Structure 1
Amino acid sequence: MSLVGRFVRLYSAKPAHPVGPDGRMALGDHFRELRARVLRAGSFMIVAIAVALYFFDGLYDLVFGPYTQAVEKLPEGSSLATTSGPAGGLMLYLKLCGFAALIGTAPFWLYQVWAFILPGLHASERKWSRVFVAIAGPLFLVGIVLGYVTLPKGLEVLIALNPDGVTNLVDFGNYLQFFTRTLLVFGLAFEIPVFVVMLNLAGVVTGKQLGAHRPWIIVGIFVFAAVATPSADPFTMTFMAVPMVVLYLISEVIARYNDRRKAARKPNAGLSPDEISAI
């Protein structure tokens, strides 16, 4: 086999052995598929980093926009710095472009993960998983956008806590980590309704149980928002908590509807062993 043929084979996820009637594959074919999908995602990531380097100025303005807005509202603000020595500027480029490439290529590498797992699922599991992916993706993006909008206020509060006469030198790497963690927390927080509905479909919780514990769950949501948000001001916490409460109430309605649908199909499904059925 030529060198080009071997290179192409590395990126091929096609099994080398016949697939069984029940969809089972040889162990070696599973590893070949995993290798191919990792190489595809990695190669696509490298190309995306190169593209991000070309658009570095725009990415820099986007990521550090919240920081700039926060500093402009303070009499004695803060300054960005690189503390990685002579290579600090290079690391700034690589970290920022790597982060942008990871986010930008998310649909592609998530598809590779999905395509690797999908053959092992049953037909009903595939159907529900497609529904959850279609809902979870937009909710995650909404959470990220909301986190980006509220981030300047959180940074303003945190930077304002510096004593008079003290300049806050923010390391680039620390800020990028703070920026990423904040957006990730907001994005994951909006996945709570999806998780609740999944538990209901799995039979772990019912809509009635969710309603009975609703006050405590709402309190827990506000506590989570207070801990997860980067600042101590009530506005940022409210911006996260209120949408989460609304989404939780929607998930409770969906769970109650699903329970009624199950009860209509199996009238005695919710009875305990000590209860008498209608029959």
Structure 2
Amino acid sequence: MALTLRRRGPSTFAKAADGSMTLLEHVRELRNRLFWASLGLVAGLIVGFLVSDWVFHLLSGPYCDLDSSWVPNKFGVPECRFLTLGATDSLVLRLKIALWVGLVVGAPVWLYQLWAFVAPGLHRHERKWAYIFVGIAAPLFMGGAVLAYFVVGHSLRFIMEAGVLRQSQQLEVVAYVDFVTTMLLLFGVAFEFPLILLMLNFTGVVSAKRLLSWWRIVVFLSFGFAAVATPDPGPFGMTLLAACMSLLYFLAVGVAFLNDRRRGRGEPMYGSLDDNELSPMEEEQQPIGASDPIDAPAPIEKPSPVSQPLPLTDHFDDVT
């Protein structure tokens, strides 16, 4: 019995990269990618539902660190309490926390499916830079979220002490969690600002000198963005966010200068040469000898007569 080896065809990535995939195959691939991404989100949602109590305890840490948040219960023991205005607020809040955690836990799955669908349309060097920027974006976002968590504690202390109620104050739980998650998301997204500048520089759109010339505008816009976007009415969170954005801007400009120097961008071709400096090239002089003799021209043959053109009977020209 003869064994035959079945030759495998090109992969889905290769077919999408060379443009040989049909529209129906693109739609089928998108359906499969969305299905696996949905499974990743469902798995992350289940994990988030299981750890939602621990996450809520972590988010309520800045609030429970305040003395004004502790009230005695019926046995006289102080407890950190929140207010609930609706019968379903507790369950809705748990589902909301589970959704946030599910997005984070399932991020490797749905981000990979998104990348696998988009990557065939990119060049090799574009895919390489995409890996680098994604690897930098995740730690920056986490750093911004961690910083926002500590900012929330100082902001709440300022809000409680600056208000008219300075003793026992209980916050509504849904509004408080929305306040904390908004601060985490805002600081995380704001920390991605230098990546945009680096992408513009690495792609050759903007030079480092041009980026540095915008420093007044960037600092002003950073403080304006922090004043408008932060839900914290106190000056601490706004000033810290604007200062971090300005610092990250100057760090991005420094990296852009290193990139321009590595590529030799922005320097004139002969900028390091003196105007009165002689050329280092040696002059080579070679004697010119007698030229080769030129042959006599050959006679031109008599042209042959042109044949008589055919009549245009029963034919149409280009006009008619």
Contact 1:73–1:156 (Cα < 8 Å) also in 2: no
Structure 1 residues 20 and 68, CA gap change in structure 2 (3 angstroms): closer
For residues 165 and 119 of structure 1, the distance between their equivalents in structure 2, rounded to whole angstroms, comes to 59
For residues 225 and 127 of structure 1, the distance between their equivalents in structure 2, rounded to whole angstroms, comes to 33
Instruction: Tell whether 2:223 aligns with 1:228.
Output: no
Contact 2:69–2:170 (Cα < 8 Å) also in 1: no
Alpha-carbon shift at residue 195 of structure 1 (Å): 0.5
Instruction: Tell whether 2:241 aligns with 1:240.
Output: yes
Alpha-carbon shift at residue 207 of structure 1 (Å): 1.2
Contact 1:206–1:255 (Cα < 8 Å) also in 2: yes
Given candidates 24, 39, 42, the residue that maps to 2:38 is 42
Structure 1 residues 33 and 267, CA gap change in structure 2 (3 angstroms): farther
Structure 1 residues 103 and 171, CA gap change in structure 2 (3 angstroms): farther
Counterpart amino acid of 2:206? V
Contact 2:69–2:169 (Cα < 8 Å) also in 1: no
For residues 172 and 103 of structure 2, the distance between their equivalents in structure 1, rounded to whole angstroms, comes to 21
Report the TM-score, using the length of structure 1 for normalisation: 0.77
What do residues 79-119 of structure 1 show as CA deviations (whole Å, max 9, x unaligned)? 5233343x333222211212221222223222221121111
Counterpart amino acid of 1:155? L
Alpha-carbon shift at residue 125 of structure 1 (Å): 1.0
Give the secondary-structure state (helix, strand or coil) at the position aligned to 2:18.
Answer: coil
RMSD between aligned residues: 3.1
Given candidates 19, 23, 27, the residue that maps to 1:27 is 23
Residue in 2 that maps onto 1:80 = 82
Contact 2:14–2:120 (Cα < 8 Å) also in 1: no
Counterpart amino acid of 1:111? Y
Alpha-carbon shift at residue 23 of structure 1 (Å): 4.4
Structure 1 residues 180 and 215, CA gap change in structure 2 (3 angstroms): same
More displaced 10-residue stretch of structure 1: 96-105 or 135-144: 96-105
Structure 1 residues 219 and 172, CA gap change in structure 2 (3 angstroms): same
Contact 1:143–1:186 (Cα < 8 Å) also in 2: yes
Alpha-carbon shift at residue 35 of structure 1 (Å): 1.7
Counterpart amino acid of 1:233? G
Instruction: Tell whether 2:57 aligns with 1:61.
Output: yes
For residues 172 and 54 of structure 2, the distance between their equivalents in structure 1, rounded to whole angstroms, comes to 20
Q: Higher helix share goes to which structure?
A: 1
Report the TM-score, using the length of structure 2 for normalisation: 0.68
Which residues in structure 2 correspond to 1:64-213 (within 5 Å)?
64-69=60-65, 71-72=66-67, 80-85=82-87, 87-164=88-165, 170-213=171-214
Alpha-carbon shift at residue 136 of structure 1 (Å): 1.2
Aligned pair count reads 252
Alpha-carbon shift at residue 21 of structure 1 (Å): 7.3
Counterpart amino acid of 1:140? F
Larger Rg: 2
For residues 267 and 126 of structure 2, the distance between their equivalents in structure 1, rounded to whole angstroms, comes to 21
Where does the alignment leave 5 or more consecutive residues of structure 1 unmatched? 1-13, 269-279
For residues 55 and 231 of structure 1, the distance between their equivalents in structure 2, rounded to whole angstroms, comes to 28
Structure 1 residues 20 and 89, CA gap change in structure 2 (3 angstroms): closer
For residues 265 and 202 of structure 1, the distance between their equivalents in structure 2, rounded to whole angstroms, comes to 14
Which residues in structure 2 correspond to 1:257-272 (within 5 Å)?
257-263=258-264
What do residues 218-275 of structure 1 show as CA deviations (whole Å, max 9, x unaligned)? 232233233333323333233323332222111111222333344469957xxxxxxx
Give the secondary-structure state (helix, strand or coil) at the position aligned to 2:15.
Answer: coil
Give the secondary-structure state (helix, strand or coil) at the position aligned to 2:85.
Answer: coil
Contact 1:79–1:168 (Cα < 8 Å) also in 2: no
Contact 1:48–1:101 (Cα < 8 Å) also in 2: yes
Where does the alignment leave 5 or more consecutive residues of structure 2 unmatched? 1-10, 72-79, 270-320
Counterpart amino acid of 1:32? R
For residues 192 and 44 of structure 2, the distance between their equivalents in structure 1, rounded to whole angstroms, comes to 27
